[in-house]
Chain A
Amino acid sequence: MGNKKLWISFAFIILALFPPLFLSQYWLHVMIISLFYVMMASSWNLIAGFTGQVSFAHAAFSGMGAYTSGMLTVYLGLPPWLGILIGTGVAALLGFGLGYLCIRMGGIYLSLTTLGFSEILRIIITNEDQWTRGTMGLQVPGFFVEYSKTSYYYLFLIVTILLLIVIYKIIHSEMGLTFRAVLNDEVAASSSGINTVRVRVLAFAISSAMSGLAGGFYGHYLMLITPDVPSLGQMFLVLAMAVIGGMGSFAGPIVGSFVLEILSEYIRVYGEYHVLLFGLIALAMARFAPEGVVGILRKKWRREWA
C-alpha cells in the first residue's frame, strides 16, 4: 500500500470513530445499515469486478448466514458469534458447491443458477415457517445484553474494516492477480498455466462466505430476520451500489453503498420509488460510465492534477 493511501485510510478510520457522538439514533441506524451494504457490495465486487462473474445469489448467501446463525442461536442457544461463524461456513460450502457445478460451463450458467437459487431459497424460507417463521420473521437475540446503537455501530465498523482489509489483501495478492488475469482474457490465462475454473470457483466461494458473514451480523443487529434479507430486491440494491460506485475498484462499492443508502432514506419520504430510480441510474451508469462514480472522479482529478 502506498504511503498516501495508507494515510488517507487512516484518516477515514479516525473520522469514522466520531459519528455516534453527534448523530441521532435514526442516522446511526442508517450508518450501520450502510456498513452492512459496504460489506455486501465490496464482496460482490470481488467476484463481479475482479473476475467478471455475475452472481445473483449474493443476497441469498447473506440470508443463509443470517438464518443459519439465527436458527442456531434460537433453537440451540449458541452464542451469536459462533452462529455467525457457522453461517459463514455454510455460505462458503454452498458457494463452493454451486460454483463447482456451474462455473465449468461458463459465466452465463453461474448467473442463471444463482438466480434460481435465490428464488428457491425464498420459497423454502417462506414455506417452512415452523422453522423460519416465514414472512412474519424470525426473532433472534442481539449481540449485546444492553441494546445500544453505539455498540452496534462500533461492532459493524470493526467487522467492515477487517473485511475490507482482507479484500484489499486478496486483490493485491497472487490470487488477486490470477482473478484479474481471468477477467482480462480467459484463454490466455489458461494457456499461461492458470487453472481458470479453480480461480473462478475460489473467488465465488470466498465472496459467498463474506456475504454469509455480513448477513449473520445483519441478522443479529435487526434481531428480526425476514425473507427480505435474501430477496432479489436486496440483491439488486447491492448490485446497484457496486455498479454506481464503480466496479473493479476498491473504493467504488464503499462509496456506492453510503451514497445509495443515505439517498434512499431521503427518497423514502415520497414513497417506494428508490428502487426504480436506482435502477434507472444503474442502467445509465452501466451504459455510459461503467467505471462508476469513483472512476469518473478519478479521471477528473487526474486531469486536473496532471
Chain B
Amino acid sequence: MGVIIEGKGLTKSFGGLTAVKKVDFHLNKGEIVGLIGPNGAGKTTLFNLMSGVYHPEEGTLSFNGMEITSLKSFEICRLGIARTFQIVRPFLKMSCLENVLIGIIGRGDPREGIKAKGEEARKLLKFVSLEGHEKNSANNLTLIEKKRLEMARALATQPRLLLLDEVLAGLNPSEILQALELIEVIRTQLKMTIFWIEHVMGAIMKASDRIIVLDQGEKIKEGRPEEVVNDSKVIEAYLGESDA
C-alpha cells in the first residue's frame, strides 16, 4: 500500500488569519480517511490547497510521488484528484447530462467520440441514481440531487483520489445510509482513495479507516477512529465549539 498523496508543512493564510498552519499528512492508496475539526479549523482550505484552488505559502504537496504544489486546478484534476464542494457548485444553467460531460471532457482525452462520452455520462448519472434527469437543468434539482450530480461530475474525471466536502450535510438518516453505500461502492468497485470532511460524526467514524483532526489550522490528532474519539485534545477542541 503506497502513499498516494502527501503534504508537508502546508501553510496558508488570508490577510492576517492563518487558515492552515504547518500541516503534515498523507493518505495511502485505497484508504478512506476522514478530516474533522470544529468550524473554521481549516478543513476546506486544506481541500482547496489539494485541488489547486489556492496555493500554499509554505510547504509541499506531492501526488503519486509527483510534486503538485503549484499546479493549477485543472492540471491537478487531470492527474487524478477530483472533489466536491461544501456549498454545492453544479453548473446551474446546464443540464445534468452536460454537467457530467464537462467532467469527461475535463480528462482531456480527444480520442473518445462525443457519442461514447454521452453514453458514459448517462451511465454515471444512473450510478448516482439520477437517471431520467438527463435533460433536466441542474438548477431544478433538490439539494441532495445536486450533491449526487457533483459526485457524478467528479467521478467522470476518473480520479484516483476523491475529496468529498460534507456530502452528508443536510441529508436525513436514510439518505445518509444511501450516500454511505455509494461511497463504499466507489471505494471497493472503483478502487478510489477517499478523503472526506464530515460533521456527521457517527457516519465518519464508522466508515473511515483513519481520522485526521484539525483545530485552528493545525493538525492536533491523527489515528484510528476509536483512538481519536477518546483523545483529550480532540474533545477539548470540540467542547470549545458551542454547537458541536
* A contact set with B: CB distance below 8 Å: 174, 177-178, 180-181, 183-185, 187-196
- Complex-state Cα separation, A185 to B103, whole angstroms: 13
- Complex-state Cα separation, A180 to B94, whole angstroms: 8
Q: Which residues of B contact A183 (CB under 8 A)?
A: 93
**Contact across chains for A194 and B72 when beta carbons are under 8 A apart:** no
- With A174-B101, A187-B73, A193-B78 given, can you name 5 additional A-B contacts, CB distance below 8 Å? A184-B93, A189-B102, A191-B73, A192-B103, A193-B106
Q: Which residues of A contact B73 (CB under 8 A)?
A: 187, 190-191
Please tell me if B91 contacts chain A, counting CB pairs below 8 Å: yes
Closest A residue, CB atoms, query B90: A188
> Could you tell me the distance in whole angstroms from the C-beta of A199 to the nearest C-beta in chain B?
10
> Could you tell me the distance in whole angstroms from the C-beta of B62 to the nearest C-beta in chain A?
19
Please tell me if B148 contacts chain A, counting CB pairs below 8 Å: no
Q: 1/0 per position for B114-137, CB-CB distance to A under 8 A? A: 100100000000000000000000
Q: Which residues of B contact A174 (CB under 8 A)?
A: 101, 105, 114, 117
Q: Which residues of A contact B204 (CB under 8 A)?
A: none
**Contact across chains for A191 and B51 when beta carbons are under 8 A apart:** yes
If the complex has contacts A189-B102, A193-B157, are A181 and B74 also in contact, measured as CB distance less than 8 A?
no
Please tell me if B89 contacts chain A, counting CB pairs below 8 Å: yes
**Contact across chains for A181 and B72 when beta carbons are under 8 A apart:** no
**Contact across chains for A185 and B106 when beta carbons are under 8 A apart:** no
- Complex-state Cα separation, A52 to B114, whole angstroms: 25
Please tell me if B85 contacts chain A, counting CB pairs below 8 Å: yes
Closest A residue, CB atoms, query B154: A192
- Complex-state Cα separation, A184 to B137, whole angstroms: 13
Interface size on B, residues (CB 8 A): 31
**Contact across chains for B94 and A184 when beta carbons are under 8 A apart:** yes
Contacts across chains A and B counted by CB atoms under 8 Å? 78
**Contact across chains for B101 and A177 when beta carbons are under 8 A apart:** yes
**Contact across chains for A193 and B74 when beta carbons are under 8 A apart:** yes
**Contact across chains for A194 and B106 when beta carbons are under 8 A apart:** yes
Q: Which residues of B contact A194 (CB under 8 A)?
A: 74, 102, 105-106
* B contact set with A: CB distance below 8 Å: 51-53, 72-74, 77-78, 82-83, 85, 89-94, 98, 101-103, 105-108, 114, 117, 153-154, 156-157
- Complex-state Cα separation, A187 to B85, whole angstroms: 10
- Complex-state Cα separation, A174 to B77, whole angstroms: 18
If the complex has contacts A177-B102, A193-B108, are A185 and B91 also in contact, measured as CB distance less than 8 A?
yes
> Could you tell me the distance in whole angstroms from the C-beta of A64 to the nearest C-beta in chain B?
31
Q: Which residues of A contact B51 (CB under 8 A)?
A: 191
**Contact across chains for A188 and B85 when beta carbons are under 8 A apart:** yes
Closest B residue, CB atoms, query A195: B74
Q: Can you list 11 contacts pairing A with B, beta carbon distance less than 8 Å?
A: A174-B101, A177-B101, A180-B93, A181-B91, A185-B89, A188-B91, A189-B102, A191-B83, A193-B77, A193-B106, A195-B108
- Complex-state Cα separation, A276 to B82, whole angstroms: 50
**Contact across chains for A187 and B154 when beta carbons are under 8 A apart:** no
- Complex-state Cα separation, A194 to B94, whole angstroms: 16
- Complex-state Cα separation, A195 to B91, whole angstroms: 16
Q: Which residues of A contact B156 (CB under 8 A)?
A: 192
Q: Which residues of A contact B85 (CB under 8 A)?
A: 188, 191
If the complex has contacts A180-B91, A181-B91, A185-B91, are A191 and B105 also in contact, measured as CB distance less than 8 A?
no
Q: Which residues of B contact A177 (CB under 8 A)?
A: 94, 98, 101-102, 105
Q: Which residues of A contact B103 (CB under 8 A)?
A: 192-193
**Contact across chains for A181 and B102 when beta carbons are under 8 A apart:** yes
- Complex-state Cα separation, A178 to B102, whole angstroms: 7
Which residue among A177, A180, A188, A189 has the maximum number of chain B CB atoms within 10 Å of its CB?
A188
**Contact across chains for B93 and A187 when beta carbons are under 8 A apart:** no
- Complex-state Cα separation, A177 to B94, whole angstroms: 9
Sorted nearest first, the 4 A-B pairs with minimum C-beta distance are A193-B106, A190-B73, A184-B91, A193-B77
> Could you tell me the distance in whole angstroms from the C-beta of B77 to the nearest C-beta in chain A?
4
**Contact across chains for B77 and A191 when beta carbons are under 8 A apart:** yes
Closest A residue, CB atoms, query B156: A192
> Could you tell me the distance in whole angstroms from the C-beta of B166 to the nearest C-beta in chain A?
16
Q: Which residues of B contact A178 (CB under 8 A)?
A: 102, 105
Q: Which residues of A contact B117 (CB under 8 A)?
A: 174
- Complex-state Cα separation, A116 to B153, whole angstroms: 39
- Complex-state Cα separation, A194 to B99, whole angstroms: 12
- Complex-state Cα separation, A196 to B106, whole angstroms: 10
- Complex-state Cα separation, A181 to B90, whole angstroms: 9
If the complex has contacts A177-B102, A180-B94, are A193 and B107 also in contact, measured as CB distance less than 8 A?
yes
